[in-house]
Structure 1
């Protein structure tokens, strides 16, 4: 009968105890096992055969190689996990029900600005927020004016058939399209297959015009929708005295606005989230800040370093309970809060 030669013990292994003891393996043997298993993708059985030992010993060799730093395993989370962690951290920091993050906003091309490219990036995230708002036919969705909501409304949003879409503020006398609240209402209603309700009134009518507008049946019909709102989608304005683009009716020369750090629905607030009034603001045809606190789902959408204080103060005031933003702004807000 042919004799079977025993495997030659690997170099450096103990001949008296081929299985060895954890913590007593030579570094060269640990490296050899790790290289075969991790770099050359051999199975543990194949490593055992090449080293002339058992699979149990190979398992101990690999474990020891990790403990001694010969093998370093890095687990890199996919981008959606990173984003999920960032959104959860920001939601907790701002005491919001939810933060929905978009993809990163790409660098704008020649002759373009971030404002020109943000709509297509933010719209899918806004769509996810709207999809989970539980809106049914006959529910009221309010939309604010502003460049961000206007740009988002240029892109696809989830179907919400039969939802009543109404503006949060007057503005049919404003020259810029993004302050024409009826135009934004029309765009959003078309995107979601909803029913638009138009507010044919300036945001800040004069003292003589204001009473008659408030008593007009067509205007009152829209104002009566505000307390019934199930959801509101709104932009967040940067500090008014730092903006180059602001609705014409805002009296930027007003000293009271020096305390304002932002606005939603053309209602201004300070760093503590308290309302900031200005001369004539009692005639403003816009949803009251207090009313926003009673709408079940209030979604703010905003990006940019210039809006960090605006977002933080708006969340502090309770004027929105969800935020749609991009990862860069989310990270900047968390850094700002940590420093504060």
Structure 2
């Protein structure tokens, strides 16, 4: 057992005087490893109590539980106190992107109402020369203002980078039309970039039976909707639907869809899902269980149901 006064003296020099462990070791004629052990013992004996202002222990604990349960790279939970949860999530997503983006990164972005708001939350972003790439085709003409091309263009301006575009709707009338677009010269560069993304930001769509903010589902035909309901679709990501067990659905629809595949998305080093709302809990659960994304940004209310 170390002398009590020695514990106090070392703790004082380290935490109050801001001396390094090496400096303390030299002044006390002790080894640096000894100083490290003394500091650990000082905390264990409550000589030192560390308080982090603004820390929500319950929130941190919930983040760690979800991270461990779904084997995720990172989980960020926003307190459910904001009157505008979507804007609060958009701010968190903007801060996270600013934190992780590196020079010359390829950043893929899918449509999502929260992702669209993220651009407006980017204050003083850094110059990166990054390339921003749409992961899905556009919406119908009726929803043209929600085009993912607008999001990537605005992000590129914010980060002083460049952007690519998809000049086609997410769902085509026939597989032949879709294949013609995918096989075109201009699209080959895009599909190559999908294979070499550094970061991907995606939303999560909820069940078909609930009111949704998705602005591309009006491209689905009556037969598509009937098939998806018969197959018990629980949600979608990047225009690919899946059931509660993580099985992808409607291969005939996928053959008409212009979007990154979930298999390719799962290989992106940092793949971030930004989503919230209780109605989306089953679809978020399924997506996380599939291992498609490795990072989740959500709110506390939604997160509290992900371990049920």
Same topology, TM > 0.5: yes
Which residue of 316, 322, 328 maps to 2:289?
Answer: 316
Q: Which aligned segments of 4 or more residues in structure 1 are displaced greater than 6 angstroms?
A: none
Match of 2:6 in 1: none
Match of 1:250 in 2: 220
Match of 1:80 in 2: 56
Deviation at 1:189, TM superposition (A): 2.2
1:273 aligns with 2:246: yes
Find the aligned partners of 2:234 and 2:249 in 1 and give their Cα distance.
Answer: 9
User: Which of 1 and 2 has greater Rg?
Assistant: 1
Which residue of 72, 79, 104 maps to 1:138?
Answer: 104
Equivalent residues of 2:94, 2:119 under 8 A apart: no
Match of 2:129 in 1: 162
More divergent stretch after superposition (278-287 vs 318-327): 278-287
Match of 2:92 in 1: 125
Which residue of 124, 141, 159 maps to 1:192?
Answer: 159
Match of 1:328 in 2: 301
1:221 aligns with 2:193: no
Deviation at 1:250, TM superposition (A): 2.6
Find the aligned partners of 2:211 and 2:186 in 1 and give their Cα distance.
Answer: 33
Deviations 1:83-102 (A, max 9, x none): 22221122122221211122
User: CA 1:245 to 1:121, structure 2 compared with 1: closer, same or farther past 3 Å?
Assistant: closer
Match of 2:75 in 1: 99
Equivalent residues of 1:102, 1:124 under 8 A apart: no
Q: SS at the partner of 2:209? A: helix
Structure 2: gaps spanning 5 or more residues: 1-50
Deviation at 1:228, TM superposition (A): 0.7
Structure 1: gaps spanning 5 or more residues: 1-74, 108-116
TM-score, normalised via structure 2 length: 0.73
Equivalent residues of 2:234, 2:243 under 8 A apart: yes
Deviation at 1:105, TM superposition (A): 4.7
1:201 aligns with 2:168: yes
Deviation at 1:170, TM superposition (A): 0.7
Number of residue pairs aligned between Structure 1 and Structure 2: 251
Equivalent residues of 2:127, 2:160 under 8 A apart: yes
TM-score, normalised via structure 1 length: 0.67
